[in-house]
Structure formats: structure tokens, C-alpha cells
Structure 1
Amino acid sequence: MIPAGRTPATVERAAEIFGKSFNYFQNQRLWEKLFPATIKAFHRAGAQRIVRLWDEEQLLALAAQRELPFDQQDIPVLPVADPQHPKPAEYQDEDLLDVVEAWEALHEAGSKITQRAWNTYVSRADDARETSAPAPDLEINGSRFWYRKTLLDWDKTRMGRGESPNAGRKKGSKDTTGPRIRPTAIARLAAAEGLLRALPNLPQAEMVKAIATTQNVTDRQALRILHEARANLGLPAPSPTEKK
């Protein structure tokens, strides 16, 4: 966690502050030799992918006093004594949380979202607004961070199961016999039917490619959609030669 109001310093920035080249600072792991215990990394203990971050104000103070013994250095204290295990009373809306801390914050706030569901949300494209996590507030070397407030506001307004306009039967629906037809599927089928009407002589292979491209589906899905469209319009299947 990056506590609210703090400026994160990367390895590159730390090397700059201490007047070392990035490669030397990184390869020699100088943070282990230069930093006293009062300087705690912001990255989460146990993280699979570590992006090392420290508080810039602390590093600047240390760089200015590094000739002094550790016990004589006056290093600013972070607002949270232990940023990796803050107390609920110390939480701030502007705390920046990584992907795991983000779910933990949602869970602690009473959200019903499971960790598996959250992992699915964060793996989806940003343009899938109904089914993706909020856009990160900060990204550092490929690691995403969200303000605590961003997450809690998103959770209050996110759609539940069956509430998305692209969902099938709504949760609790008593109609369990009808097909789970989604608006997206209807639109794709209508597009295929329109193609058949507009270009009835277009080879099937080209129709499949056109449907796959315009409807963002695989060729196999496009072929299935095309077969269904033909059946709806009462059109015969193409000849074996045409299938090739």
C-alpha cells in the first residue's frame, strides 16, 4: 500500500537520489546496504511480482544524512507506522492499493465480490465497462494501483449478476425453460441475416470472415452464427464445393 499523500519512489528514482546508476543500484541491491529499518518498502510482502517502491521524502532525508550513523539520522516517519498492515482507523480514501490489497479493501468494507470474481474483473479490457474493474489511478512499471475511494465507489454502483443489459435470465427468474438469449447474440444473428440478404452469392468462407471480424468472434463461432441465420431465413446449406 502507498499511504495517502506519499510520493512513491521507484528503484530508478532511488538510484538518482543517491547518485548511483540504475544498473549498479539494482544489481548491487544497494537498498539493503543503505536503508535503515525505519525505511519500509511500500510493496506488499509476499507479492509475486515485486515493484520496489519507497517513500521519496524518506529517501531524500536519508541521502542528505547518509554520512551520519543510523542512530543519529532524522528520517521522517510515515503517517502509518506499518504501511503493510495498517489499522482500519488509519485507512484513508487516497491510499493507493495494489490488485490484491484492492480486493482485501473491498472485502473488509463488506463487499460481496469474491476474490475470484475480482481477478476476473481486473483481467478484462478497460472498455468492458459492465464487467471490468475501474481504471487504475496509478500505474508504475506495469503494476496497477487504485485509490481506496475509487474501489468503494465502484463497488457501490457496479451491476450485480443478471443486471447487465447483456446478461441472460435475471437472478431469481422463474423462467428456467426459455433459452438464455442475450442481446449481443441477437445482434450478431441479425448481422449475419443482413449479410445473407445483402450478399447472397458471397462465398461462405468470406461470409465467415466478415462475421468474425465485424462481430468480434472466432471463425468457429461465426460459422455457427451463419448456420443459424440460414436456418432462420429458410435458406439451404451451401453446396460442398462452396464450403471449401
Structure 2
Amino acid sequence: MIPAGRRVVDDYEAAAMMGIARGTLRNTQAWKPLAAAVVSRGRTRLYDHRRLRQLLAGETPEPLPTTEDEKDLLDVEEARQQIPTDRLLAASTWRSYICDGTGPPPDTTIAGVPFWYRATLPAWLANRSGRGTGGGRPAGTPDTRPRTLTADRHQLANQRRVRVRDYLTTRPRPTSADLTELAAELGISPRHARRLAAEARDG
């Protein structure tokens, strides 16, 4: 979670603050002493800028806010966990919802990673029809409406492609486990991640 109002930086910026290359940061695991500044993990680590700066200066980092704020930014799994237990979706279902536009669109993306405001999930749930409430096309009826990308979804799709291309520069032959983890980071299905990786290699 990224607390409301906090600036974050990725490995590129963290490495620059340390005066080293990003590859050196990763290969030597130079980020580990800075773990107290990490606010979002995964293939794309994000650091709280203020705490990172304090750690690099040899200072004790200030505590992060502990109270919830509607402007807190949640990653794909943290957003899913905001759904009440009686309506909680499986992780794979949630990722497919995000991928196909059924779920709430991300409020922002940082370093190619989608995030949602804490307040977004209750609003989405309130507007979402529950099972068995009617509406939609009858079961078995094909969806004949053309699917279009909104500007936000088009931008997110492009950011995902950029992130996958960047990922392949460090892991040109990713394993299935790698792609599954990358898919979770990007809020998409593993199948979608494999397709994006194939497109990046072919392109």
C-alpha cells in the first residue's frame, strides 16, 4: 500500500539516488538494506521517497501513517482484499475482471503497476449488480457488441506493454512462474502475460 500523499520511486530512481546502475542494485541486492522504505513489492519494487532518502542519509526513517485514508493507493491484491468476505472474488477471477474491464479501472499507474484508491472499491461494489439480480444477456448468448478501449484502458494497456518489454531485458527467457508473478503485479491473467511477452519478443 502507498499511503495517501506519499511520493514513491522505483528501482531506477532508487539506484540513481545511490549513484549506481539499476542492474547493480538488483544483481547485488543493494536494495535489501533499504527494505524499510519499500511500500510495494513484486517485480517492480516501489519505495517511499522520504524514508528512502532518510535511510541513505543514515537517519532513522519516520513512521508511515497507520490510519486508513480514502486516498491510499492499493495494488491489485490489496484492492481485492477490500471486497467483503461474502463477496470476495478468487484472485484469478479478480485479475480477469481487471483485464477485461469488468472490474474498476485503475485510478493511476506507477512504473507500469496499476493502483486503486481505497475509496474506489466500495463505490465499485455499490454500483455492481450482485449475482442473480438480473440484467445482462441470457446465459449462452454470445456478446455481439464490439469491445472498445477507453482512453484510460488504452493507456494502461500501453503501460503494461512497456513494463513487459522492460522485464524481458532482464529476463529474456522468463519461466511460467516468472510470468505468473508478473501477471499478478500487472493485474492480468498469466495467459495475458504470456501473450504480451510473445508480442514483445516478436516486435
Report TM bin, short chain: 0.5 to 0.7
3-state SS of paired residue (2:109): strand
Instruction: Summarize the alignment of residues 58-77 of structure 1 with structure 2, pairs less than 5 Å apart.
Output: 58-63=51-56, 65-66=57-58, 73-77=59-63
Partner residue, 2:79: 102
Contact 2:107–2:115 (CA<8 Å) still a contact in 1?
A: yes
What's the counterpart of residue 99 of structure 2? 123
Deviation of the 1:150 alpha carbon: 1.0
Give runs of aligned pairs for residues 22-33 of structure 1, distance below 5 A. Answer: 22-32=22-32
Matching residue of 2:188: none
Q: Distance in 2 between matches of 1:29 and 1:102?
A: 29
Query: Which residue matches 2:200?
Result: none
- Whether the 8 Å CA contact 2:37–2:49 is kept in 1: the answer is no
Q: Deviations over 1:183-230 (max 9, x none)?
A: 846x89xxxxxxxxxxxxxxxxxxxxxxxxxxxxxxxxxxxxxxxxxx
1:13–1:167 Cα change, 3 Å = same
- Give 5+ residue unaligned stretches, structure 1: 67-72, 81-89, 127-131, 169-179, 189-244
**Residue 139 of structure 1: SS of its match in structure 2?**
strand
Q: CA shift at 1:167, angstroms?
A: 2.3
Whole-angstrom distance in 1 between the partners of 2:14 and 2:134: 46
Q: CA RMSD in A?
A: 2.8
| Distance verdict in 2 for CA 1:19–1:25, change over 3 Å | same
Higher relative contact order (CA 8 A, sep 6+): 2
Once the two structures are superposed, what CA deviation does each residue of 1:27-81 show, in whole Å capped at 9, x if it has no partner? 211122x43x6x242125xxxx432111101112233x23xxxxxx24222113x
Bigger Rg over Cα: 1
Give me the TM-score of the superposition, normalised by structure 1: 0.51
3-state SS of paired residue (1:105):
coil
Partner in structure 1 of residue 12 of structure 2: 12
**Structure 1 residue identity aligned to 2:7:** T
- Output the CA distance in 1 between the equivalents of 2:76 and 2:55: 30
CA contact (8 A) 1:111 1:155 kept: no
State the SS of the aligned residue for 2:122. Answer: helix
**1:43–1:50 Cα contact (<8 Å) kept:** no
Partner Cα separation in structure 2 for residue 17 and residue 103 of structure 1:
33
Structure 1 runs (4+) deviating above 4 angstroms are 162-165, 180-185
Residue in structure 1 matching 2:38, options 38, 41, 44:
41
Unmatched segments (≥5 aa) in structure 2: 147-203
- Tell me how far apart the structure 1 counterparts of residues 62 and 38 of structure 2 sit (CA, whole Å): 14
- Who is 1:79 aligned against? 65
The answer to whether the 8 Å contact 2:81/2:88 transfers is no
Identity %: 32
Partner of 1:92: 69
Q: How many residues align?
A: 145
Q: In 2 relative to 1, CA 111–145 (structure 1 residues): closer, same or farther, beyond 3 Å?
A: farther
Paired letter, 2:108 = L
Could you tell me how far apart the structure 2 residues matched to 1:162 and 1:5 are? Answer: 39
